[in-house]
Amino acid sequence: MPNLISFLIKQAQEAFQGTPVLAEIFATALQNTLSTTVKPMPDGTTFVITGDIPAMWLRDSTAQVRPYLIPAAEDENLAEMIAGVVRRQFFYICRDTYANAFNETASGACWEKDFPDQDPMVWERKFEVDSLCYPLQLAYLLWKNTGRTTQFDENFRLGAEKILMVFRTEQFHEERSAYCFQRKGSFFTDTLSREGKGALTKPGIGLIWSGFRPSDDACTYGYLVPSNMFASVVLRYLAEIAREVYRDEELAYSSEELASQVEAALEEYAVVRTEEFGEIYDYELDGYGQYHLMDDANVPSLLSMEYLGYHGKNKTVAENTRRFVLSRANPYFYEGRAASGVGSPHTPSGYIWHIAMAMEGLTAKTKEEKLAVLKNMAATDGGKSMMHEGFDCDDPARYTREWFSWANAMYAELVLSYLGYEIKLS
């Protein structure tokens, strides 16, 4: 175990002497990802499984290693491990820009064989805007927190150009996109309507169409607001990388232009007035006037706006949105005997997600609020000293996914935040 990891665990033990279980779970969570999910590859990349599923998600793998950005500033081995994750992610993006999860080798393993000619490297080919945002974010944050630039190789540059091309295409999904996804004999949330084309959206309004949410559930309306918020942030990151690392003004301008289009569209189309909360951001919209008021535990979420770096034009709208998300007005906010928090239609009704609890703590304003969330997370671990996907708000012994590395990482990141360690976002 790296010395800095040991040091952070010791700090947590000292900080939580009154509630040692918080430090115990932190030690487990911080060590678990490194020891059980991370695999250095012969080609200098790093393969990361999600936990109980033997595939690498572009989204999850970023979140799983994100807490290590803090010790990586002084630990070369951790920095190289994260750089390897970025290299692996962009290898996959260059292989299939629309896929969300991949195999370690071209084994053909998958949830379902959704396409007759499915790439054997692809575990699942659900197009999710956030899946392309996360690798850009990780590459940028590694640079800003450690000074490392080895992740910005030719594959990164090629992958970044592919991401821009796909985002521009999906701004006009109905007119220009050939992407479709159909899974036979499954739940309706696991496939796309209209013969695989998904929710109808008005093209050319500036937003980027997404087939699926970060929960891997199909979007009700195709313009997923939190994912577009995330895209606007990471496109600014890409512009900075292009300008300062590659000295490529054309790529920088192209990225900034797309970011500006998305931001302008969000502020024009995604803000709606409610009687109870005033103006808030909706979760999804179609550009024709229909929208969905909710939030989901998976990140990007409306709850995670500040965490992701999206601020918008009006701070009050963001504050109102947070109040909405953490209230009964959000159909996926649950209150029970054990806890209250945000869940997801991806799991049973009444199941709260530890990821959402951690996000509530990470976006809290005071240490006292962060500590309260940590104590509640520890009290709802089902006696496993690990975080889960979702748990019954009345009975934490009932939960989904005993081994879910993303949730462990979020707990670890919240502990680090409580201890005063923050990841640099710029």
pLDDT value at position 351? 98
Q: What pLDDT, in 10s, does the model give residues 176-192?
A: 999 999 998 888 899 99
Going by pLDDT thresholds of 50, 70 and 90, the confidence category of residue 146 is: very high
Secondary structure of 195-207 in HEC code, one letter for each residue: HHCCCCCCCCCCC
Work out the angle between the directed axes of helices 249-269 and 225-244 (0-180°, nearest 10). Answer: 160
Residue pair 279/271 in contact by the 8 Å Cβ criterion: yes
pLDDT value at position 403? 83
Q: Supply the DSSP symbol for 298.
A: S
321 contacts: CB under 8 Å, gap ≥ 6: 277, 280, 281, 302, 305
Q: Please give the sequence-ordered ranges of beta strands (E in DSSP) within 317-412, or none if there are none.
A: 333-335, 340-342, 351-353, 390-392
Going by pLDDT thresholds of 50, 70 and 90, the confidence category of residue 32 is: confident
pLDDT of residue 295 exceeding 90, the answer is yes
Is this model's pTM higher than 0.75 or not?
yes
Comma-separated ranges of CATH 1.50.10.10 domains in the chain: 53-331
pLDDT value at position 402? 84
pLDDT value at position 2? 62
**For the residues of 93-159, what is the DSSP string, one character each?**
HHH-TT-SEE-SSS----SS--STT--TTEEE----HHHHHHHHHHHHHHHHHH---TT-SHHHHHH
pLDDT of residue 1 exceeding 60, the answer is no
pLDDT of residue 211 exceeding 70, the answer is yes
Name the CATH code of domain 53-331 (choices 1.50.10.10, 1.10.3720.10, 3.60.20.10, 2.60.40.10).
1.50.10.10
d(CA 356, CA 408): 12
Structure token digits, residue 262: 């998305």
Q: Mean pLDDT across the stretch 71-87?
A: 97
114 or 269, greater pLDDT: 269
